[in-house]
């Protein structure tokens, strides 16, 4: 296994430490459900961020560690698992043909988050990014008649039209069995990489906690103080 995994973790930690200096609490409506990537994550626990840390801060580190794990697994798959690599490449080609992919190209801090904020009950959205992403590419429409001369029209007819993706032939039982074996090997390798990522994060834990104390905790306390000043408790003395 590549020894650069630890250096990759350190590199992403440095990026996260630079990002945390610019973090500000969100003012929009938060997500209504738990993030499956962060809740109970051993990566977040190894970094010491499992308790009393805003989810956005946790998520930013979690997704950066996912970059490390995914890159290592991709390299291992390309080198050692040809059948799985072929299937993944086919899947990636099909996904790249989608008309609209709003989640592509996002910074790590925003990957894996909901594409759309929670709508208000009395103000539904006319459309959402998720709905646009689920739409299939439009079928090519025939070109309207034009005033091209015969030579130009003949040239256009000779140009090949983009062929749609044909259905893939089903895998044979032997190919299915081999693919399952390669998938198990990829999962095992991903687990090994994840353990090394957690071990390296544990070494970086003091720096991570120091950044939380310096840049996150004061803003959280300021929010709580502002909230407390606007609350009206029945136990507080009232002016006549």
Please report the pLDDT score of residue 3 as a whole number.
56
Residue 193 covered by a domain: yes
And the tokens for 191? 């687990």
Alpha carbon distance, N-terminus to C-terminus of the chain: 73
Number of domains in the chain: 1
d(CA 71, CA 62): 14
Nearest Cα to Cα of residue 18 among 238, 202, 206, 208: 208
Q: What is the pLDDT along the chain (240 residues), one digit of tens a residue?
A: 445 899 999 999 999 999 999 999 876 665 567 888 899 999 999 999 999 999 999 999 999 999 999 999 999 999 999 999 999 998 888 777 666 666 676 777 767 677 666 777 777 777 676 776 666 555 545 555 555 555 555 545 454 544 555 666 788 999 999 999 999 999 999 999 999 999 999 999 999 999 999 999 999 998 888 877 777 656 656 555
Residue 140 covered by a domain: no
Residue 56 covered by a domain: yes
Full residue range of the structural domain in which residue 200 is found: 1-25+35-117+176-229
Residue 220 covered by a domain: yes
Tell me the Ramachandran region of residue 112: left when phi exceeds 0, alpha when psi lies from -120 to 50, beta otherwise. left
Please report the pLDDT score of residue 26 as a whole number.
77
- Structural contact between residues 62 and 16, judged by C-beta atoms closer than 8 angstroms: no
Please report the pLDDT score of residue 120 as a whole number.
72
For residue 185, the SS3 value is helix
């Amino acid at each position: 296994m590549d020894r650069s995994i630890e250096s990759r973790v350190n590199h992403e930690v440095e990026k996260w430490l630079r990002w945390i200096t610019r973090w500000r609490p969100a003012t929009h409506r938060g997500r209504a459900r738990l993030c499956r990537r962060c809740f109970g994550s051993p990566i977040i626990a190894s970094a010491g961020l499992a308790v009393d840390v805003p989810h956005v801060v946790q998520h930013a580190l979690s997704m950066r560690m996912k970059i490390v794990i995914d890159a290592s697994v991709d390299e291992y798959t390309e080198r050692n698992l040809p059948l799985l690599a072929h299937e993944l490449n086919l899947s990636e080609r099909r996904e790249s043909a989608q008309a609209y992919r709003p989640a592509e190209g996002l910074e790590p801090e925003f990957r894996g988050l909901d594409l759309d904020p929670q709508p208000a009950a009395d103000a539904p959205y006319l459309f959402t990014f998720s709905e646009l992403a689920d739409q299939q590419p439009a079928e090519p429409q025939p070109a309207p008649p034009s005033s091209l001369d015969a030579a130009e029209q003949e040239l256009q007819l000779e140009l090949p039209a983009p062929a749609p993706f044909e259905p893939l032939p089903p895998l044979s039982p032997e190919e299915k069995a081999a693919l399952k074996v390669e998938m198990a090997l990829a999962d095992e390798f991903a687990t090994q990489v994840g353990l090394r990522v957690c071990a390296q994060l544990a070494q970086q834990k003091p720096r991570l906690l120091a950044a939380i104390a310096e840049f996150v905790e004061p803003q959280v306390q300021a929010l709580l103080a502002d909230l407390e000043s606007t609350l009206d408790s029945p136990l507080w003395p009232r002016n006549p």
